[in-house]
């Protein structure tokens, strides 16, 4: 039956599923080196939903690609870091073993369902491909399982739909197909969803998110949800990490973050939400002054300094150390927002 619970604390186990330490990813372009991810430390427990938020270009997508080792390696370089998946360092894994993990224990869905599906193959055969790759099933068997999955993601008339081509389906349905593809494993450990609903209509967004949470609970997998929409975060996540210009600036359990944001950027993000109290009855939505810095010309110090209301002298010279205020809440700021700034 369809349940409306969006939090599944019971399903969150305590073991670490994914642990990222000291990750640095850069891109060597013709115009210079872009440090897309800097000194990232992040972890995800089995069964939990971690949301990774930030504006475009903050490095959240690159992080996701680094986990699956899909960062295009000519311009991209993983300068340092460890990505532990159930104990194994993914960055040191030989290609073959990494491939075995992709699509089975670690799967990924992308933002644009139209371009993410191969236009010349039926959706059924694309899902079946995952079975053929990982479970060595025959074509017919694999296709049958694909149909089962289409049913699982609530696509009507799955038998017929499996024979359709991507361009014959709507955006919402295509995203469901993507989700189906990522579930084609008996025990997926981590699903990474890179802005899964950004390209969809608002009404479909809600459906897809609900589908994701249900399936997640059913299968017992963890979800790394990448988004820039705090509303989505509130609905689906257990914990949140906020990124800005490649750095993680704050991380907390969802309620804690919304109730007690400490980093000025986080506060700014929360205030920007159309549903925020500060926006109630206002004529204009509040927004954060200024724009994201050019990653090519980033200097030392906190990258948010030029837009920050709380900026101090130290902010320009050094990136702040991590401050932990509780087991579930940490942030990096020289001059954090005081605890009483509750945007809710």
Partner 1 sequence: MLKFILKRLVLLIPTLLGVVTLVFFMIALAPGDPARVMLGERANAEQLAQLRSELGLDQPLSKQYLLYISRIIRGDLGKSIVTQQKIIDELSDRLPATIELAITATIFASILGIVLGVTAARRRNSWVDYSTMTGSLVGVSMPVFWLALVLIMIFSIGFDLLPTGGRMDVRLYFKPITNYYLIDGIIMWFREGNSDYFISALKHIILPTVALGTIPLAIIARTTRSSMLEVLKQDYVKTARAAGVPEGKVVFRYALRNALLPVVTVIGIQFGMLLSGAILTETIFAWPGIGKWIYHSIGARDFPAVQGGILFISFFFVIINLVVDLLYSVINPRIRLK
Q: 301: Cβ–Cβ under 8 A, 6 or more apart, which residues?
A: 315, 316, 317, 318, 319
Q: Please, which residue, 49 or 68, has the CB nearer to partner 1? A: 68
Residue 197 phi, psi dihedral angles, 5° rounding:
-115, 0
Q: Please, which residue, 37 or 106, has the CB nearer to partner 1? A: 106
Helix (H, G, I), strand (E, B) or coil at 75: coil
Only one residue has tokens 């799967």, namely 107
Q: For the CB of residue 211, give the shortest distance to partner 1 in the complex, in Å.
A: 18
Cα angle 325, 329, 334 (rounded to 5 degrees) comes to 60
Q: Please, which residue, 133 or 279, has the CB nearer to partner 1? A: 133
Strand partners, 222: 190
Q: Please, which residue, 66 or 302, has the CB nearer to partner 1? A: 66
Which tokens belong to 289? 């002054």
Q: Please, which residue, 1 or 120, has the CB nearer to partner 1? A: 120
Q: For the CB of residue 57, give the shortest distance to partner 1 in the complex, in Å.
A: 18
Percent helix / strand / coil, the chain, rounded to 5: 35, 25, 40
Only one residue has tokens 């640095």, namely 24
Q: Please, which residue, 68 or 332, has the CB nearer to partner 1? A: 68
Q: Please, which residue, 226 or 269, has the CB nearer to partner 1? A: 226
Which tokens belong to 50? 């971690």
| Strand ranges in 209-315 using DSSP code E only, listed in sequence order | 222-227, 239-244, 247-253
Which tokens belong to 34? 């872009």
Whether the CB-CB separation of 258 and 335 falls below 8 Å is answered with no
Q: For the CB of residue 118, give the shortest distance to partner 1 in the complex, in Å.
A: 4
Q: For the CB of residue 202, give the shortest distance to partner 1 in the complex, in Å.
A: 23
Whether the CB-CB separation of 274 and 291 falls below 8 Å is answered with no
Q: For the CB of residue 71, give the shortest distance to partner 1 in the complex, in Å.
A: 11
Sign of CA dihedral 16, 235, 185, 81: negative
Q: For the CB of residue 135, give the shortest distance to partner 1 in the complex, in Å.
A: 11
Only one residue has tokens 């101090």, namely 312
Q: For the CB of residue 328, give the shortest distance to partner 1 in the complex, in Å.
A: 31
Q: Are strands 190-194 and 222-227 parallel, antiparallel or unpaired?
A: parallel
Q: In what order do the strands lie in the sheet with 16-29?
A: 32-45, 16-29, 76-85, 88-89
Which tokens belong to 114? 């139209």
Q: Please, which residue, 132 or 276, has the CB nearer to partner 1? A: 132
Q: Please, which residue, 96 or 284, has the CB nearer to partner 1? A: 96
Q: For the CB of residue 122, give the shortest distance to partner 1 in the complex, in Å.
A: 8
Q: For the CB of residue 210, give the shortest distance to partner 1 in the complex, in Å.
A: 23
Which tokens belong to 111? 């933002």
Q: Which residue ranges make up the site for partner 1 (CB under 8 A)?
A: 68, 70, 99-104, 107-108, 110, 112, 115-121, 126, 129-130, 133-134, 165, 167-168, 178, 181-182, 184
């Amino acid at each position: 039956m369809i349940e409306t619970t969006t939090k599944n604390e019971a399903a969150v186990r305590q073991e670490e599923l994914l642990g990222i330490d000291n990750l640095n990813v850069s891109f060597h372009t013709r115009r210079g080196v872009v440090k897309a991810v800097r000194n990232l430390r992040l972890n995800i427990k089995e069964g939990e939903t971690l949301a990774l938020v930030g504006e475009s270009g903050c490095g959240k997508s690159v992080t996701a690609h680094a986990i699956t080792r899909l960062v295009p390696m000519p311009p991209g370089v993983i300068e340092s870091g460890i990505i532990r998946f159930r104990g194994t360092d993914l960055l040191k894994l030989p290609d073959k073993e990494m491939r075995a993990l992709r699509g089975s224990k670690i799967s990924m869905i992308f933002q644009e369902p139209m371009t993410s599906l191969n236009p010349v193959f039926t959706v059924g055969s694309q899902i079946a491909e995952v079975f053929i790759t990982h479970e060595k099933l025959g074509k017919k068997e694999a296709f049958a399982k694909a149909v089962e999955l289409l049913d699982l993601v609530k696509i009507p008339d799955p038998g017929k739909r499996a024979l359709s081509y991507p361009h014959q389906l709507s955006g919402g349905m295509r995203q469901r197909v993507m989700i189906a593809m990522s579930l084609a494993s008996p025990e997926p450990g981590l699903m990474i969803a890179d802005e899964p609903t950004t390209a969809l209509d608002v009404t479909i967004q809600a459906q897809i998110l609900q589908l994701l949470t249900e399936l997640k609970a059913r299968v017992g997998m963890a979800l790394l949800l990448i988004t820039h929409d705090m509303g989505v975060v509130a609905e689906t996540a257990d914990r949140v990490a906020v990124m800005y210009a490649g750095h993680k600036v704050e991380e907390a359990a969802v309620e804690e973050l919304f109730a007690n944001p400490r980093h000025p950027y986080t506060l700014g993000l929360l205030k920007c939400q159309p549903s925020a109290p500060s926006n109630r009855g206002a004529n204009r939505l509040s927004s954060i002054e200024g724009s994201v810095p050019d990653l090519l010309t980033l200097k030392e110090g906190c990258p948010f300094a030029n837009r920050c209301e709380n900026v101090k002298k130290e902010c320009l010279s050094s990136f702040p150390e991590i401050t932990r205020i509780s087991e579930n809440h940490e942030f990096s700021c020289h001059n954090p927002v005081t605890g009483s700034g509750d945007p809710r």
